[in-house]
Amino acid sequence: MRKCPKCGHKNDNDAKYCSNCREKLVADRHSEKKEENKLKKFMPYLLITFCVAIAVVIFFFFSGNNTSKTTTKVTSRIEKKSSSASTEDKPKKSNSSIKMTSSSEESEKLIVKDLTPEQTAAAIIYYGSKKTMSDRNVWEPLYVSTEPININITKKITSNLEKPGQNVRYAATNATDESKKTAYSGKQYIAPSYTIDPDNTINYYDPRTLDENFDNISAVESVNLKDIVEYINEQHAVTEVDALSKRISIQDNRSEGDGNEITDSDLTNDRLLCEILIFYAISNYKEFKVLDQASKDSYLNVLTDDDYRTLKVADEQNRNTFVIAYIPKVNGQVVNMYTFGSLNADHQVDLVTSGMTPVDRSEIVKYVNQAGGKRVLKDMKLSITDN
Distance CA 382, CA 294 (A): 10
Identify the band that residue 163 occupies on the pLDDT scale cut at 50, 70 and 90: very high
CB 120 within 8 A of CB 146: no
pLDDT in tens, 5-54: 767 767 777 776 676 666 666 655 555 555 556 556 667 777 777 777 77
Mean residue pLDDT of the chain comes to: 78
Query: How much is the pLDDT for 224?
Result: 98
Higher pLDDT, 9 or 320: 320
Element containing residue 97 per DSSP (H, E): helix 29-108
Query: How much is the pLDDT for 76?
Result: 46
Element containing residue 379 per DSSP (H, E): none
Cβ count within 10 A of residue 323: 19
Q: At what angle do helices 238-245 and 29-108 cross, to 10 degrees?
A: 60
If you write DSSP's letter for every residue of 18-46 in order, what string do you get?
-TTT-PBP---HHHHHHHHHHHHHHHHHH
Q: Using CA atoms of 55, 60, 61, 67 in order, give the dihedral in degrees to the nearest 10.
A: 150
Identify the band that residue 198 occupies on the pLDDT scale cut at 50, 70 and 90: very high
Identify the band that residue 107 occupies on the pLDDT scale cut at 50, 70 and 90: low
pLDDT in tens, 210-246: 887 787 899 999 999 999 999 999 999 999 999 999 9
* pLDDT over 90, % of the chain: 33
Identify the band that residue 269 occupies on the pLDDT scale cut at 50, 70 and 90: confident
The mean per-residue pLDDT over the stretch 267-279 comes to 90
Higher pLDDT, 370 or 66: 370
Identify the band that residue 179 occupies on the pLDDT scale cut at 50, 70 and 90: low
Distance CA 231, CA 140 (A): 17
Identify the band that residue 367 occupies on the pLDDT scale cut at 50, 70 and 90: very high
Considering the domain 112-256, what is its CATH architecture? 2-Layer Sandwich (3.30)
Strand pairing category for 201-205 and 221-224: antiparallel
Highest mean pLDDT among 254-263, 322-331, 351-360: 322-331
Higher pLDDT, 254 or 345: 254
- Asked if pLDDT for residue 352 goes beyond 60, the answer is yes
Highest mean pLDDT among 99-108, 174-183, 322-331: 322-331
Min mean pLDDT across 19-23, 243-247, 330-334, 341-345 is at 19-23
The length of the chain, given as a count of residues:
387
Strand pairing category for 310-315 and 320-330: antiparallel
Amino acid at residue number 233: N
Three-state secondary-structure class, residue 382 = strand
Cβ count within 10 A of residue 319: 7
Q: Which of 353, 327, 328, 330 is nearest to 340 (CA)?
A: 353
Q: Phi and psi at residue 376, in whole multiples of 5°? A: -80, -10
pLDDT in tens, 122-159: 999 999 999 877 667 899 999 998 999 999 999 888 98
Higher pLDDT, 354 or 341: 341
Fold of 264-386: Yope Regulator; Chain: A, (3.30.1460)
CB 138 within 8 A of CB 238: no
Q: Where does the chain show beta strands of DSSP type E?
A: 2-3, 10-11, 149-154, 169-173, 193-196, 201-205, 221-224, 248-252, 300-304, 310-315, 320-330, 333-343, 349-351, 359-360, 382-386
- Asked if pLDDT for residue 112 goes beyond 90, the answer is yes
- Asked if pLDDT for residue 80 goes beyond 60, the answer is no
Q: Whole-prediction pTM value?
A: 0.50
